[in-house]
Amino acid sequence: MTGPNGGGLDEAIGRRRFLGYVVAAPTLVAAAELGLTPAPDVRLPSPELTELLDLNDMMTAAALPTSGLITVEVNRDGTVSFALPRAEVGQGITTSTAMLIAEEMTVPLERVRVTLADARPELVFNQLTGGSNTTIATYTPIRVAAAIARLRLLAAAATELGSAVTDLTMRAGVITDRSGGGIDIGALAEKAASMRTQQVSVELMPRENFTVIGRPHNRIDALDAVTGRKKFAMDLDIPGAKPTMVCRPPTVNGKVGSVANLAEVRAMPGVTDVVTISTGVAVRAETFGQCIDAVRALRVSWKPGTAEGKSDESVLRELEAAELPLGPRPPTPTVEGRFTFYFRSNSALEPNCAIADVRADRAEIWSALKSPIVAKQAIAAKVGLPLGKVTVHVTEGGGSFGRKLFFDAALEAAEVSQRIGKPVKLMWHRADDSRQGRTHPMSTSRVRVAYLGDTVLSYKQRHTSVSTDLGHGLGEIITAMAARLPVGDIGFSQTFFHLSQAMSYDFGGGSRLLNETGKGFNTGSMRNVYSPDVTCARELIIDQLATRMGKDPYRFRHDFLRDDRSRAVLAKVAEVGGWGRPMPAGTAQGIAFHAEYKAVSAALVEIDCRSETVNRPVRDGVTGPRVTRAVFAVDVGLAVNPRGLEAQMMGCIMDGIALALTSSLHLRDGYFLEASWDNYFYTRQWNTPPELQIIVMPSTSEKPGGAGELGVAASMAAVACAYGRATGTMPTSFPINHGTLSFTPKPTIPPIPPSPTDGLKHAR
């Protein structure tokens, strides 16, 4: 019974009590189902779909009927282990997960060991790291498992100490009775274990008692990171797995025709194997240096690729042809804009890489994978083994930004290992990673806003993009969920687009539609997917609209935002950033807002577009306008680890600066020109704002929202708006420097550049 009339107690229990398990094991193992969070309330279709359901609700709901168990284990040494079925790629989820366990179990954070789970097909949709969904989906289940472990430990301690459970206190991993007798949880690990698996109900720690969640904590892997002990895939010592690289085609997805000098290259120093595979010619050697030399020595004739002859200009024409109409122009005044966003690379610093050991009867893979189940299925199919004979280990990732949703290197490594019958440690050269790796697709966004007086009548946006490949498994979720969604028969990417794009402003009617075109490119979701481009276009138009209506850009946004929570972050950056302060000519402020992942965010930046700044000399780099200050406010509901959240926002700001000002791929003659970090201009120290303030707003919710991608959209938009205000011209093409090629493209044959020899001369 629930409700206001006499149902208080039941309601409280209903809200707080959760079911989990004690699992039969020699030491204490407590478990919960990963899909514990309540199902979203799916109601009738509405023009504003995101109000009913967002992408995270869908991802969380997708897990409900199929989820397996996650387990918290107490070890004899007093540590607590948890294998997280997600990929840690820098976003800090191992730390936040350890915090959840430390909180519920009242054990020190240092005693919690979080590792990354191998691919677990029984989790079906529930081992995908994406959509900034990890904390949203795991917050309750992990706490439930930890709370059950605590309950069992207390019961075991009561028996040991001869006290009632109510007379025990648990602190810092030690349970103490009233007489001061204490026992460490390690000594209880076996005694609290269960002979059989049984269901247990448990209450979670009330919010007001939190001492760990919501307080800033440093990363649990920080010491390993700063001492070089942190192990990434290529740092693992797997017996017999020797360095392997692939000689790749000169155009996107070209194929091997023939190889003229196989025998000669096989005889090169250190080389053990050379073999043609589906993506190129693979070379295995004693060192990666010898792989590089061998790849460069190969004389390969190539067949055409999948983007033959295409260029930025031809793709732009394709996009224009595919654009959905905005409809007849209304009789009222309108503001319109058309924006172009060129291809961008989601290369992480750790390039695509994987270790594979494929034998006749089994296969083992090591790689940083955000969709390990799909990877396992694809690898099993590729090498012709039953799923159960393929083991996929998820390693710590050196960044992702969407790149590790795919498993291109793991699939390739498995193919090479099977072909040569030896283990391989396969890594893409940086040039490969940039030219043949996944990209954020080129897109255009057209916006039309109709207004009259002080009222916005309608907002229409037509986003047209080269197809984004969602084939890493998110597509499967959408397939599975489509019948339950109020979206009719629209396709995967359109569903994704609708679910991720909230309209936060009270802009009357209108529609925002996605159309995709032009396959043939290796695309994928890049951090924040559609939102940076869509939001950038919207916020630039809002600045124009504000000007037409004679309003201040900040006041305009504040007036039209729909809710207090949104207005609060905007007001916070305006206040902290000193919105409207006088600034010299050629410099300006910009302000922007974005909501997604059950969170809201706002950015205020100051930019310096004066020639003495734009033309600062930097060798082999792009200087350009400098963002001199960034102020960012974020409200994710409940921030589990505010320090980690700040770190994510900082990274998002750097991404936003790069997307607006400097970083893009140039497509010419069927290939991307960029082959180096000195070609693809991601933000560098000389582009970094010397002043940066990130404000984590007081919690507005009992539950955490997503954070890993959240800050990119508002940051990019604020930089674009600031640039427009500083120069007096609204930018319409991104990044703004795309029209100027700021480097000399490297050759495509051989596909990778020579290793330099002058390193000692540059010692400094």
Contacts with another protein in 242-271 (CB under 8 A)? 243, 269-270
Q: Is residue 289 within the footprint of another protein (CB under 8 A)?
A: yes
In the shown chain, the binding pattern of residues 45 to 74 toward another protein, with x for contact by CB under 8 A and - for none, equals ------------------------------
**Contacting residue, 58, 93, 151, 427, with another protein by CB under 8 A:** 427
Q: Is residue 228 within the footprint of another protein (CB under 8 A)?
A: yes
* Min separation Cβ 341 and another protein, Å: 19
Q: How far is CA 222 from CA 216, 259, 375, in A?
A: 14, 46, 29
Diameter of the chain measured on Cα atoms: 86
Q: Is residue 398 within the footprint of another protein (CB under 8 A)?
A: yes
Interacting positions 576-635 with another protein (CB under 8 A) = 620-621
* Spatial CB neighbours of 501, under 8 Å, sequence gap ≥ 6: 50, 512, 530, 531, 534
Stretch that binds another protein, among 5-13, 30-38, 190-198, 426-434 (CB under 8 A): 426-434
Q: Say if strands 334-341 and 455-466 run parallel, antiparallel, or are unpaired.
A: unpaired
Interacting positions 656-685 with another protein (CB under 8 A) = 676-678, 682-685
Stretch that binds another protein, among 2-10, 214-222, 296-304, 470-478 (CB under 8 A): 214-222
Q: Which two tokens stand for residue 742?
A: 């700021």
**Contacting residue, 227, 301, 729, 740, with another protein by CB under 8 A:** 227
Q: Is residue 286 within the footprint of another protein (CB under 8 A)?
A: yes
In the shown chain, the binding pattern of residues 430 to 459 toward another protein, with x for contact by CB under 8 A and - for none, equals x-----------------------------
Helix axes 492-500, 474-482, angle to 10 degrees: 90
Stretch that binds another protein, among 34-42, 148-156, 218-226, 330-338 (CB under 8 A): 218-226
Stretch that binds another protein, among 35-43, 285-293, 554-562, 577-585 (CB under 8 A): 285-293
Q: Of 128 and 233, which CB lies nearer to another protein in the complex structure? A: 233
**Contacting residue, 33, 54, 57, 221, with another protein by CB under 8 A:** 221
Q: Of 242 and 738, which CB lies nearer to another protein in the complex structure? A: 242
Interacting positions 690-729 with another protein (CB under 8 A) = 690, 692
CA 7 distance to own-chain centroid: 42
Asked whether the beta carbons of 523 and 441 are under 8 A apart, the reply is: yes
Asked whether the beta carbons of 466 and 518 are under 8 A apart, the reply is: yes
Q: Is residue 33 within the footprint of another protein (CB under 8 A)?
A: no
Please report which helix (H) or strand (E) contains residue 14, including its range.
Answer: helix 8-16
Amino acid letter, residue 103: E
- The three-point CA angle 757-758-762 to 5° equals 150
Q: What is the three-class DSSP state of 243?
A: strand
Q: Is residue 342 within the footprint of another protein (CB under 8 A)?
A: no
Q: Is residue 370 within the footprint of another protein (CB under 8 A)?
A: no
Q: Of 110 and 563, which CB lies nearer to another protein in the complex structure? A: 110
Q: Of 238 and 326, which CB lies nearer to another protein in the complex structure? A: 238
Helix axes 55-63, 474-482, angle to 10 degrees: 80
* Min separation Cβ 706 and another protein, Å: 16
**Contacting residue, 302, 401, 505, 671, with another protein by CB under 8 A:** 401
**Contacting residue, 89, 102, 183, 588, with another protein by CB under 8 A:** 89
Helix axes 553-560, 564-576, angle to 10 degrees: 160
DSSP codes joined into one string, 440-491? EPPEEEEEEEEEETTEEEEEEEEEEEEPP--TTTHHHHHHHHHTTSTTTT--
Q: Is residue 164 within the footprint of another protein (CB under 8 A)?
A: no
Strand stretches in 16-159, DSSP E: 17-22, 29-33, 69-74, 80-84, 112-116
* Min separation Cβ 631 and another protein, Å: 12
Interacting positions 507-526 with another protein (CB under 8 A) = none
**Contacting residue, 13, 164, 225, 452, with another protein by CB under 8 A:** 225
Q: Is residue 650 within the footprint of another protein (CB under 8 A)?
A: yes
Asked whether the beta carbons of 635 and 711 are under 8 A apart, the reply is: no
Q: How far is CA 155 from CA 169, 179, 255, in A?
A: 12, 17, 64
In the shown chain, the binding pattern of residues 744 to 763 toward another protein, with x for contact by CB under 8 A and - for none, equals --------xx-xxxxxx-xx
Asked whether the beta carbons of 710 and 529 are under 8 A apart, the reply is: no
CA distance 347 to 433: 6
Please measure the distance between the N-terminal and C-terminal CA atoms of the chain and give it in whole angstroms: 74
Q: Of 635 and 655, which CB lies nearer to another protein in the complex structure? A: 655
